[in-house]
Structure formats: C-alpha cells, structure tokens
Chains A and B, each alone.
Chain A
Amino acid sequence: MAAANPTQIRALIASHKRWDTIFALCGLLALMLGVLTFAALFLDMALDGGARLSWDFFTSYPSRRAGQAGILSAWVGSTLVMLTTAFFAVPLGVAAGVYLEEYAAKNWVTDIIEINITNLAGVPSIVYGLLALGLFVYQFGFGQSILSAGLTLALLILPVVIVATREAIRSIPQVIREGSYALGATQWQTVRYHILPYSSAGILTGVIIGMARAIGETAPIITIGALTFIAFLPPSPVQAEPPFLSFEWLFSPFTVMPIQMFNWTSRPEAAFLTNAAAAGFVLVFMTLAMNGLAIWLRYRLRRNLKW
C-alpha cells in the first residue's frame, strides 16, 4: 500500500472503530435482555408477594384460607431434602471425580464414562423422578419420603458435582503432584494432603450450584409423590431422651417450596397467587443466597492458593 497521509489513516481507523462501538452496543443489549428480564420478574414477584412476607408466613402451615396459609412445612421440607441430597451427592460425586481424574487409566472405557456423565447432566429431571419412583419408592420401599426425595435429587446433581470436582482437580498444576510423588507419597497420600484440600473451593462451589438447581426442582419430587398439602412437620432429628438423635424424619411425608408454589398457583383465588409470589420470592432468595455463599467460599478458600 502506498504511504497514506495521516488524515486518511485517521479516517480508516475511525471507520474500523465504528464496528467496535456497534458490537459493544449489541453485546450490552444482549446482556441487558437477560438481566432485565430476570430483574423484572423478581421485582414483579416481590411487589405481588412482598406484602405477605411476615413472620407468620414462615411459621404457618398451609391453609384453605389464603390469608392464614404459610410455608412452614415447605421450607422445613426443602431444607431437610437438601441436607439429605448433600449428604449423598457430595461423597459420591467427589469420590467419583477423584477416581476419574487421579486413578482411572486413560482409555476408551474412561472416555465412555466421561461422555455418559456429561450426558447425565442433560437428562430431563422428570426421568430421574420416574427412575426414583420405581427404585427408591417401591423397590427399596422408602416410600414417598424425604429420603426418597433426597436420593432422587442427589442423583440429579451427581453429574454436576462430579464435573465440578474434576475441573477443580484439573486446575491443580502437575508439578504439585510430582512434588508429592517425588517425596515417596502414595496416590492416596497425594489425594488426601494435596488434591482434596486444593480442590475443595471448586468442589464446594459446584456442590452449592448443584444444590441451588435441586432446590427449585419440582417435576421429580411430584413424580415420587410428595404431598401438596401437609400440615405437620417431620419428627425432630434431635430428641429429648437417649439416643437423642432420630432419623425417623427421613421416612416422613413432606412437601417442598416449589410444590407449595405450584399448588397455590393452581388455585382460582387471587389471594393464593399472592401467596405463590411470596413463596417464589423466598425460593429465589434462597437460591441467590446459596450462589452468594458459593462465591464467597470460593473467594475465601482460593485466597491461600497460588501456583
């Protein structure tokens, strides 16, 4: 190209930069579309249901009268189901992830397992519900209980936990492993002293994000037969007399937040829709709180890790 004069060069740059501006605007628009839609939904729900949010709303059982109905059995049910889910999904998922990354031979069998796990993450949740209905509810005889629901959701988030564990483990530099092995450590010692501690931030984040997904799941819980109207709480896990701990609650009938919402939205009276909005607000808030916790934990635990 012949030597251009500065004015021409500037004109050329300006025309190129227009595309920067155009793309930046498109990107911003795309971003806002998502963010604003969610914000509008959340705000709408808050406005609709905000008035219902009171102490009584959290401490009352569902009722035929919308004004007296509350979410006590729903949030207690959701909490207990989540605890059960975490109890099963975390050890299973972490062990599977560690095995795949650190122990499994890299061959076609491992490849197939990997592809399957990725696919499992995409299986519709109602399919898990059907599986659980046959397996946990009838075959194992756990019934329509918190245990069945917890196991179902544990299966559902297992792929998320496995993938998160593997990604967290993969981010540990190879020189750290070699440093451990060079000192005569076994695989288990390396996993125990290095791999697990250094990947715990990533694993926790994955677990919480999986739980945040599970807490909003409705379809599989309905499939296994959670009740939609329940006016009692599961037996307390802590008892006054020895042995003080009781696991009876695991076999108790229950309901969860999204089912309570679903129930209220299907009522004709407007007052129940207000209740549903209030419950939805609480549910979204629980999810956001869990995600917030994940971010905070990741920040806290990663502060000490530098490679």
Chain B
Amino acid sequence: MVSEKPMPKAEAKKLDFFYGDFRALNGISMAVYERKVTALIGPSGCGKSTFLRCFNRMHDLYPGNRYQGEIVLQPDNANLLAGDVDPIEVRMRIGMVFQKPNPFPKSVFENVAYGLRVRGEGSRRRLEEKVEQALQDAALWEEVKDRLHQPAYNLSGGQQQRLCIARALATDPELLLFDEPTSALDPIATASIEELMHDLKQRVTILIVTHNMQQAARVSDFTAYMYLGHLIEFGVTDELFIKPKMKQTEDYITGRFG
C-alpha cells in the first residue's frame, strides 16, 4: 500500500498522439509518481506502448508522428513534447528497456559503457567504475564479472535483459521505461527482473507496459488501464485490482474480456 503522498515525476496532460491521420491516444492525463512503479495494462492495440514511447520521444524517429498536449517532467516542470525540446536531451534523462533483449553485438562492458561514451566519458577508470556499479545495480555483476569482454550474445535471454537494464542504469536515468520487458523470457528470468524492479524503485521512477496482469499486480504501485487509446481507469494497484471503479476495467482484469 502507498502510505505517504507521492510526488509526480512526470505527468501527461491531455496527451493525444497521431500516427499520420490515425489517432492512437486520446486525451490521456495521468501522473507517474516518483520512486514508484506504474503499470500500463490493456488489450493489444490499446495504445499502452505508444503512450510509453511518448515519454522518451521515440516516435520522433519516424516520420508522420505527431503529439498534442503535454508530458511535464519534474523537478524542472518542463514539457517534454515542446517543439524546442531536443528529443536527445529527453532520452539522456529517461532510459528505456525494450520488449526483446536488444544488446548491441559488442562486449558486455561496451554495452553498459555505451551510454557513457555517448555522453563523452573518456576516462577508462570512470567507465570501469560506472559499468561495475550499473551491473551490480542490475544484479548481473556476479554472473558476468569474469567475462566482461566477451560478446553480450553469449549471455542467456534473462541475463541479456538485465544487461539492457544495466545499460540504461549506467547513465543514472530519472525515469526508466519498460516496454513488456519479460514477454520474451521464461518464468525464472521473469521473476528475477521483477525482483530487480522492486529494488530499483528505491532510486528511480519506473513506468512499465505489461501484458501480464499478475505481473502488474505484483510489481506496481499504480496501474492504468487503457482501451482503444483512452485511459479508462488509473489508481493504486491494489484498489484497481480488488475494487475497480469501472465495469470495463473489471471485465478486463477478471478475464471476461481482452
């Protein structure tokens, strides 16, 4: 249960999103609270991944995409979607972990060091420190410390995903986005990622898209249920799962629909 009043880390305000002429998000307003895990659930195509990818302006990579409304990031109270905000600056502050583990075809070390190199870190000693710290934070250090310079592809799927988490953590993101991070993993690897998320929320705000409602119930403090580009219900996870306010939410979480 959430005890003290949480502070919003980021807040979507009347957010619309368009893929060309197709409106994928309709007036989404919700907060992502600081040092909490917020889960986005809903049936396929409901827009939850689209919403997640607004937070690091991933949609800017492709032509024809358009945002309307705001996502305000704290503490500087700045709208991430403003035209004069460089998406690269946004991505330097907000990390992302993808659906399928996507390590670069480089060594374990180089994978984690990449974000730091992008930021111009050249000192070998600083890189080594940061890489070790990030791997420890991602609960991977013990497993890979003897093979830092071997290809990341030699790791198992679950290890690769934790490597991707370490890669995102190495640059101290303020907000970490997870796009169905365990959908390609077995139950044991999934459990370790969930446990990791639980530890990570001590220091970083997490927003996660998941297909798995048990996962949302297990890891998140807040849950948002989306349907066809609309936010149907948002609330404290325990309350949303036990006593949903909307009939639609109840139908979805009880498996009567979706």
- A-side interface residues toward B, CB under 8 Å? 105-106, 173, 175-186, 189, 193-194, 198, 304-307
Question: Is B95's CB under 8 angstroms from A178's CB?
Answer: no
A-B contact count (CB 8 A): 65
Query: B1 an interface residue at 8 Å Cβ cutoff?
Result: no
Question: Is A179's CB under 8 angstroms from B104's CB?
Answer: yes
Question: Is B58's CB under 8 angstroms from A183's CB?
Answer: no
- Identify B56's interface contact among A176, A182, A194, CB under 8 A: A182
Query: B213 an interface residue at 8 Å Cβ cutoff?
Result: no
Q: Chain B 87-128 against A: per-residue CB contact (8 Å), 1 yes, 0 no?
A: 011011001101010111100000000110111000000000
A193 neighbours in B (Cβ, 8 Å): 114, 117
With contact pairs A175-B98, A185-B118, A186-B88 given, residues A180 and B104 touching in the complex (Cβ less than 8 Å): yes
Question: Is B63's CB under 8 angstroms from A106's CB?
Answer: yes
Query: B164 an interface residue at 8 Å Cβ cutoff?
Result: yes
Question: Is B118's CB under 8 angstroms from A184's CB?
Answer: yes
A178, B164: Cα distance in complex, Å: 12
A180, B115: Cα distance in complex, Å: 8
Question: Is B114's CB under 8 angstroms from A180's CB?
Answer: yes
- Identify B58's interface contact among A182, A185, A194, A306, CB under 8 A: A182
- Within 118-145 of B, Cβ neighbours of A (below 8 Å) are at 118-119
Given contacts A179-B104, A185-B118, 7 further A-B contacts (CB under 8 A): A176-B104, A177-B61, A180-B114, A181-B61, A183-B114, A184-B89, A184-B92
- Identify A183's interface contact among B61, B103, B118, B153, CB under 8 A: B118
Question: Is B58's CB under 8 angstroms from A304's CB?
Answer: no
A182, B98: Cα distance in complex, Å: 10
B95: min CB distance to chain A, Å: 7
Q: Chain B 147-181 against A: per-residue CB contact (8 Å), 1 yes, 0 no?
A: 00001010000000000100110010000000000
A180 neighbours in B (Cβ, 8 Å): 104, 114
6 pairs from A and B in contact (CB 8 Å cutoff): A178-B61, A178-B102, A182-B91, A184-B119, A186-B118, A198-B105
Question: Is B63's CB under 8 angstroms from A184's CB?
Answer: no
A175 neighbours in B (Cβ, 8 Å): 98, 100, 102
Question: Is B104's CB under 8 angstroms from A183's CB?
Answer: no
A198 neighbours in B (Cβ, 8 Å): 105
B117 neighbours in A (Cβ, 8 Å): 193
A224, B89: Cα distance in complex, Å: 53
B118 neighbours in A (Cβ, 8 Å): 183-186, 189
A103: min CB distance to chain B, Å: 12
- Identify A176's interface contact among B95, B102, B167, CB under 8 A: B102
B89 neighbours in A (Cβ, 8 Å): 184
With contact pairs A178-B61, A194-B104, A304-B105 given, residues A183 and B98 touching in the complex (Cβ less than 8 Å): no
B255: min CB distance to chain A, Å: 31
B151 neighbours in A (Cβ, 8 Å): 304
A182 neighbours in B (Cβ, 8 Å): 56, 58, 91, 95-96, 98, 168
B115: min CB distance to chain A, Å: 4
A304 neighbours in B (Cβ, 8 Å): 105, 151
A107, B100: Cα distance in complex, Å: 30
A222: min CB distance to chain B, Å: 45
7 interchain residue pairs of minimum CB distance:
A184-B92, A183-B115, A182-B96, A175-B102, A184-B91, A179-B102, A185-B118
A2, B95: Cα distance in complex, Å: 64
A306, B105: Cα distance in complex, Å: 7
Question: Is A179's CB under 8 angstroms from B63's CB?
Answer: no
B73: min CB distance to chain A, Å: 15
A169: min CB distance to chain B, Å: 14
B219: min CB distance to chain A, Å: 21
A173, B100: Cα distance in complex, Å: 12
A175, B181: Cα distance in complex, Å: 13
Chain B residue with minimal CB distance to A179? Answer: B102
Residue of B92, B95, B102, B117 ringed by the most chain A CB atoms within 10 A: B102
A200: min CB distance to chain B, Å: 12
A278: min CB distance to chain B, Å: 45
A302: min CB distance to chain B, Å: 10
A185 neighbours in B (Cβ, 8 Å): 88, 114, 118
Question: Is B95's CB under 8 angstroms from A183's CB?
Answer: yes
Chain A residue with minimal CB distance to B103? Answer: A179
A185, B117: Cα distance in complex, Å: 9
- Identify A181's interface contact among B58, B103, B104, CB under 8 A: B58
A162: min CB distance to chain B, Å: 22
Residue of A106, A176, A185, A189 ringed by the most chain B CB atoms within 10 A: A185
A53: min CB distance to chain B, Å: 44
